[in-house]
Structure 1
Amino acid sequence: MFRNFRLVRKWKFLQLISMCCVLSTLLVCWEEVDHHVISHVRSYSYRYLINRYDFINKSFAVSREEADSFGRFPYLINPQEICAHKDVLLLLFVKSSPENFRRRQIIRSTWGNQTYIKQELGVNVKVVYVMGVHPNPHQRAAVQKKLNDEDQIHSDLLQQNFMDTFHNLTIKLLLQFRWAHASCAHARFLMSSDDDVFVHMPNLVQSLQALSKQDVENLWIGHVHRGAPPVRLKSSKYYVSFQMYQYSSYPDYTAGAGYVVSREVAAKIYHATMTLNASLHIDDVFMGICAVTVGVSPQEHVYFAGEAKAPYHPCIYEKMITSHGHEDDVRYLWKAATTPEAKGISSGFFGNLYCKAVKMFLLCKPFFSNTYSCRAAFS
């Protein structure tokens, strides 16, 4: 009996030591735990309030003059005639940095080739590269000369005189929607993407043509982030202070790497930008704030990637719309994704079964991957 009592005491002592170790670890790592676990739970339960009520509208509301001042920069390059054709299915903005000459040229020769799109797909898609000025004053003049030469050849650059930096991405968003309203308001759809995004243009055009036959007044599709919490870690480039954004959750929004809105939503977002404080530097979140104020909600499209690449496989290519994180492999991917073999690979009973199995293996893995969701395997 005495021996059993000693065993119980020893077991309780080990429990106490284990608990102390766990608590010590939590205290040391609390900021990380709070950011990755607690803040996500809190923010997701808070998102209903953010998306349903208008206190964001009130806290970000400013006068029209102040709202206009956030994007009031002189144009350095302005392709005003690019949308002269009245029948424009899609106005596609590519957010680019001034020095990314090679990326733009690769896009022009692959998925953004407007001649190919017109001749092979039979529609007008206008691709415009959006940017500010080079942030390094010592390189700015040389880069600007090359940009002027580039625009003389292609006439597809859109540039204002602001520093092209991460913290000015919201200015880029203002530039896109305000220029579209002034110079290409008749485009049926508007898309925004990054210059390291691959767009499967045949699939995108086919999807938009199908949507054109439906009621798409409030269309906003992409990879949706729901209940995302503001990052409060000062070491992160996504850090947002309580003074800049006081709530525990962002409104629902689509990843800025690639999303599509209808002409009607583009007009609503433009009007929202003329009433809101645009000092929040995370552009896709600001887009969500604009959308909340005008009563528009994002819709998940399983073939729009988030911040990661889509898997390389013909069964994926058959329905893919966007994939993020591409630079050196764009030409390879364009060739592989648009071959006849990739189209219709899932046709027939066995083809469908094969592709479903492949997509389940590639997309339904038991770890988080910010690309296509497992639901894409069953679509």
Structure 2
Amino acid sequence: MQWRRRHCCTHTAKLLYVLSLLGVLIFLAHQVWLPKLTGMAWWRANPVVYGGGGLNMSSKYSLWRFVTIHQADVNTSFHKKEGVSPLQGKPSFENTALANTSQTHDLSATVNHGTFPYIINEPDKCTKGQHGPFLVLLIATEARQVEARNAIRQTWGNESVAPALGFIRLFLLGKNEGELGLLQQRMLEAESQRYHDIIQQDFLDSYKNLTIKTLMGMNWVAMHCPQASYVMKTDSDMFVNTEYLIYKLLRPGLKPKRNFFTGNNMRGFAPNRNKNSKWYMPPELYPSEKYPTFCSGTGYVFSGDLASKIFQASLSIRHLHLEDVYVGICLAKLQIEPTPPPNEFLFNHWRVSYSSCKYSHLITSHGFHPNELLKYWHHLQSNKHNACINTFKEKESRMHTTRMN
């Protein structure tokens, strides 16, 4: 009898062990392995996928398609781990954003929709006049770039460029960690108190989170400045001829456009599969051979109504770290094709050699140190009315000197 009891207990223990092991394997498959392979949690419905001809619904689950993630409940433990406050109440249009994924090198990891509360905000920036501003500038920057922000305030970002129309500048920032981050935060808050042109949310400020930063700016326009006629997103190392942009391209005398998006159009570009590249795009994240048409993130302009449309589209599209490509995918979902600029040299994502003639007829040029920005801006302002006439005279003079020699 004792032998039988021992034998029965041994078999029972083995059976329980096998069942528990099976349960662990099922849990890992559902909760860990499947999300890592697909970028999508196992309980999701049929995903929206990006195919060659556009966005469509797929009834067949595929590991090799661009899967968009629908808005989900907030995982509180995730937010505690990442240092992000959990969402209070139900997700809303104002406080729903893409999750911070910059602290992992696995770009294909599941992205959760979370909240990034404002650390610094300017909700009343657009309420000063009776009508909405003609142009809102959204400038991506980092806390350490104090000189660049000051140079922009004195040059192309100076709101006195078009005071009668309403011209607003906003610098977009995330936060930094550690002791240096705390010091930078105190300085940033003092800077904000002085200029009232900074908005900042509680996500890690990094290159991989530039998409989150841009969406923060679009969401701010949608929530606090929906009456804006136009918006421009650009970077802090850019030269922007805001006067030419406003009066020659956007033309305040005309009725504001809708569903309008323009910049340096990047059409037919393929994802970069070089793992050593800054612009590397893993096939797991974006398997298609071509991106939809997008505009270089160095500077693009869109009508004010698109701010809310792009942000809302982003809530159902999987996060990508390449901000300009990602915005292009949002536009593709909205079935909006970026408009080519009237002149292909208006928006430049490279550095254009300076001359007052060239710079009086372009909108963007890339790669400027703050001191250069101040120098060239002031030179352009003093020569803009006869910039090309002076250039022609200089060429004539050089030609004459050459002939004499």
Decide: shared fold, TM above 0.5. yes
Q: Do structure 1's residue 331 and structure 2's residue 371 form an aligned pair?
A: no
- Matching residue within 168, 184, 187 for 1:126: 168
Greater displacement, 264-273 / 137-146: 264-273
Q: Do structure 1's residue 63 and structure 2's residue 70 form an aligned pair?
A: yes
- Matching residue within 146, 156, 160 for 1:115: 160
Give the partner amino acid of 1:287: V
Q: CA deviation at 1:138?
A: 2.9
Give the partner amino acid of 1:127: R
Take 1:178 and 1:126, find their aligned partners in 2: how far apart are those partners?
16
Q: CA deviation at 1:311?
A: 2.2
Task: Tell me the residue number matched to 1:189.
Answer: 230
TM norm structure 1: 0.73
Distance 1:103 1:246, change over 3 A: same
**What pairs with 1:28-107 in structure 2 (closer than 5 Å)?**
50=52, 52-55=53-56, 59-65=66-72, 68-70=96-98, 72-84=115-127, 85=129, 86-107=131-152
Give the partner amino acid of 2:324: D
Q: Secondary structure at the match of 1:329?
A: helix
Query: Is the 2:349–2:366 contact (alpha carbons within 8 Å) kept by the matching residues of 1?
Result: yes
TM-align CA RMSD: 2.6
Query: What is the percentage of aligned positions where both structures have the same residue?
Result: 27
TM norm structure 2: 0.68
Q: CA deviation at 1:110?
A: 1.3
- Per-residue CA deviations over 1:316-374 (Å, capped at 9, x if unaligned) read 122111111112300111112222x3335457xxx99x59x99xxxxxxxxxxxxxxxx
- Per-residue CA deviations over 1:162-208 (Å, capped at 9, x if unaligned) read 11111111111211111111111111001100000111121112035
Q: Secondary structure at the match of 1:342?
A: helix
Question: Which of the pair has the greater relative contact order for Cα pairs under 8 Å at 6+ separation?
Answer: 1
Take 1:276 and 1:314, find their aligned partners in 2: how far apart are those partners?
43
- Per-residue CA deviations over 1:23-53 (Å, capped at 9, x if unaligned) read xxxxxxxxxxxxxxxxxxxxxxxxxx74x42
Give the partner amino acid of 2:285: M
Unaligned runs of 5+ in 1: 1-48, 359-379
Take 2:298 and 2:377, find their aligned partners in 1: how far apart are those partners?
18
Give the partner amino acid of 2:70: S
- Per-residue CA deviations over 1:40-81 (Å, capped at 9, x if unaligned) read xxxxxxxxx74x422599944332347945152111001111
Greater displacement, 54-63 / 244-253: 54-63
Q: CA deviation at 1:273?
A: 1.4
Q: CA deviation at 1:308?
A: 1.1
Take 2:340 and 2:57, find their aligned partners in 1: how far apart are those partners?
23
**What pairs with 1:1-379 in structure 2 (closer than 5 Å)?**
50=52, 52-55=53-56, 59-65=66-72, 68-70=96-98, 72-84=115-127, 85=129, 86-118=131-163, 122-134=164-176, 136-210=177-251, 213-214=254-255, 216-278=257-319, 280-301=320-341, 302-327=344-369, 328-339=371-382, 341-346=383-388, 354=392
Aligned length: 298
Take 2:267 and 2:230, find their aligned partners in 1: how far apart are those partners?
23
Q: Secondary structure at the match of 1:338?
A: helix
Query: Is the 2:294–2:325 contact (alpha carbons within 8 Å) kept by the matching residues of 1?
Result: yes
Q: Secondary structure at the match of 2:357?
A: helix
Query: Is the 1:200–1:337 contact (alpha carbons within 8 Å) kept by the matching residues of 2?
Result: no
Take 1:211 and 1:218, find their aligned partners in 2: how far apart are those partners?
17
Take 2:121 and 2:261, find their aligned partners in 1: how far apart are those partners?
26
